[in-house]
Amino acid sequence: MNIHFKPIYFRKPVVAFLLVITLLTSSCVTFRVQTHKQEGTEYQSHPINVYLWGILQSPKAVTTPICDSLGSPGMSEVYLRRNFGQYLIGVVTLGIWSPAKLYWKCSKPCPKTGKM
């Protein structure tokens, strides 16, 4: 039985090509929560970090001063986005540090009812 193996120097370009294709075709991952409320503002964002597999978070709570100043009853949309680099950091550190970015839109304030 004759088995022919390609020399090692042919494998390196193939591995490099596959790595480049993987990096170019990878995209970010988004987790989205959307309500039936009407959108009232543009997207706002805040970077977040999770440490030690979710035991610690920074920041512990994200404040929304624009929503509060509008008198908004809540959010119309919230989503968490991680790109390839952020996932790679999480994998390399084995989950000790996992960065992401949180985006949200405030909902429109409730219309005032009654006499003016």
Span 42-99, pLDDT tens digits: 788 889 999 998 888 888 877 777 777 767 667 778 888 888 888 888 888 988 999 9
Are the CB atoms for 104 and 64 separated by under 8 Å? yes
Are the CB atoms for 53 and 90 separated by under 8 Å? no
Record the pTM. 0.61
Q: Tell me the percentage of the chain whose pLDDT exceeds 70.
A: 66
Span 78-91, pLDDT tens digits: 888 888 888 888 88
pLDDT over threshold 60, residue 10: no
